Amino acid sequence: MRIRYDPDADVLLFMVRDDPPVDALEEPGGVIISYGEDGKPVSVEFLHASARHMVQPGEVSVTLETERIRM
């Protein structure tokens, strides 16, 4: 999973897969879910992230990457 914040657009993006999105659905409240060709979620965007207290204005743009570990 990768997480990115765009301070200019005030959008917090969670990318759960690397597949390209082929469709998107905007949910009430400014949440956009993008779907891959297989119909599974590819990313989730939160519009107006600072107003939701998900990030603080003035924070440095950060990208976090995680890897799935199989046990």
Per-residue pLDDT of 5-55, as tens digits, reads 888 898 999 999 999 999 999 998 899 999 999 999 999 999 988 887 777
Domain range list for the chain: 2-56
DSSP 19: S
φ/ψ of 30, rounded to 5, equals: 80, 40
Helices marked H in the chain — which ranges? none
Per-residue pLDDT of 38-51, as tens digits, reads 999 999 999 988 88
